[in-house]
Amino acid sequence: MNLYTTFLRPLLFTYDPEWVHHLLIQKLDQTKGKEFQGLKQLIHQQFGYNHLALHQQIWGCHFPNPVGLAAGFDKDGLAWNWWADFGFGFAELGTVTPQAQPGNPPPRLFRLPQDQGVINRMGFNNQGVAHLQQQLTHDLGLEKRKIPIGINLGKGKNTTLDQAWRDYLYGFQGLKNYGDYFVINVSSPNTANLRDLQAQALLKPIFEALQQENLGQKPLLVKISPDLENQAIINILELVTTYDLAGVIATNTTIARPELKSAYAQEIGGLSGRPLTRRATEVIHLIYQQTQGQLPIIGVGGIFTAEDAWEKITAGACLLQIYTGWVYQGPGIVKKILLDLTEKLTALNLSTISQAVGLAHR
Ligand SMILES: Cc1cc2nc3c(=O)[nH]c(=O)nc-3n(C[C@H](O)[C@H](O)[C@H](O)COP(=O)(O)O)c2cc1C
């Protein structure tokens, strides 16, 4: 019996979703000190899973497993050193903007339980670059990093599109030494016109400015929307190649509203979870095909089971991320997916997960 889905979820779902989320992050933030090492170990025993077949070396970083925490869950890095204990193979912090900003007025987060989905219009609420820097500096001495940490960069609410590159550059300069990989987020539907930055003319100056600053030191990725036409994705891939980006994250949330059963289905914002599974996987297929499997893809969107994970891996993703699945299935989801993935590898006589990446294309 799954204690989370049977007992805890029904209770948590009676409360406001943003309040529950805030409570969790706040509690994790408060229990970071040395005196909580025992608790961390307990959590790790419960939710962690290690198997050599799941290890990968990508961009010179060691990923102990392919399942990461998606951006937006721990925007300010308040709980960053917990995510390895919850079993994640990596965690992406942010989206962070140059300065702190409050985001959109609440309510701005909605559960769609009949659809296993979430709609959010948070609008990059976060405490800014300097605060994230402090979080990561402050905690560095406390314990070694166990998993790669990605940092997802955004633009401030009031920055115009033609000046957007300055915000991404500011974030990258400020945090360059604190993350293992960096994400240019141009696909959130909750900052007005942000997704227009996915057009080549606006994306180009961003890629150019960051790569000039980077000089090949850190992997830079771009996170794209599932609502782009295939041709627009191909145009982005052209720029990704020109500017030698390290990979693509597919995908962010969707503004599409497929047939949904839940109340709140018509709320404005980005839809995530089960209704996104298929389109996100299609986008991974497209990127893998277009790049002949040469570009690392982080697959995200509606992963709840090992079957969902397997489809994205065989479509071409070498790494995965989860947000909504964690809300619905609870923290046990990571270990369950990893266990089932390992079984799948054994059944197919594959010795490592990297042998499964893009398998559907061979
Ligand atoms: C409440 C919420 C906040 C999010 N915030 C961000 C964000 O700040 N930056 C970002 O790149 N993606 C953000 N996302 C998108 C997720 O990272 C992910 O791409 C998307 O939810 C699809 O994955 P899922 O179906 O597993 O949730 C957010 C998603 C949710 C549900």
Residues annotated within a binding site for substrate: 75, 120-124, 185, 190, 252-253
- The three-state secondary structure class of 110 is strand
Is residue 132 included in any domain, yes or no?
yes
The predicted structure's pLDDT at residue 141: 47
Backbone CA torsion sign across 41, 42, 43, 44: positive
Is residue 62 included in any domain, yes or no?
yes
Check: CB of residue 197 under 8 Å from CB of residue 186. Answer: yes
Which residue out of 104, 252, 271 has the highest number of ligand 1 atoms within 8 Å of its CB and is therefore the one to mutate? 252
Q: How many domains does the chain have?
A: 1
Is there an atom of ligand 1 within 6 Å of 197 CB? no
Catalytic residue among 188, 272, 351, 354: 188
For ligand 1, the distance from its centroid to the CA atom of residue 34, given in whole angstroms, is 31
Backbone angles phi, psi at 352, to 5 degrees: -140, 155
Closest ligand 1 atom to residue 273 Cα is: 25
User: Model confidence over 254-265: pLDDT tens digits?
Assistant: 999 999 999 999
Residue having the nearest C-alpha atom to atom 6 of ligand 1: 72
Q: Would you give per-residue pLDDT tens digits along the chain (362 residues)?
A: 789 999 999 999 999 999 999 999 999 999 877 788 999 999 999 999 999 999 999 999 999 999 999 999 999 999 999 999 999 999 999 999 999 999 999 999 999 999 999 999 999 999 999 999 999 986 554 457 899 999 999 999 999 999 999 999 999 999 999 999 999 999 999 998 999 998 899 999 999 999 999 999 999 999 999 999 999 999 999 999 999 999 999 999 999 999 999 999 999 999 999 999 999 999 999 999 999 999 999 999 999 999 999 999 999 999 999 999 999 999 999 999 999 999 999 999 999 999 999 999 99
Residue ranges in the chain assigned as alpha helix (H): 3, 9-12, 17-30, 37-47, 128-140, 164-175, 200-214, 230-242, 277-290, 306-315, 324-329, 332-347
The CATH number given to whatever domain includes residue 96 is 3.20.20.70
Is residue 4 included in any domain, yes or no?
no
- The three-state secondary structure class of 320 is strand
Is residue 253 included in any domain, yes or no?
yes
Residue having the nearest C-alpha atom to atom 1 of ligand 1: 120
Is there an atom of ligand 1 within 6 Å of 147 CB? no
- Tell me if residue 272 is catalytic: no
CA distance 362 to 357: 10
Is residue 255 included in any domain, yes or no?
yes
Closest ligand 1 atom to residue 326 Cα is: 26
Residue 183 sits in which domain range?
53-357
Is there an atom of ligand 1 within 6 Å of 21 CB? no
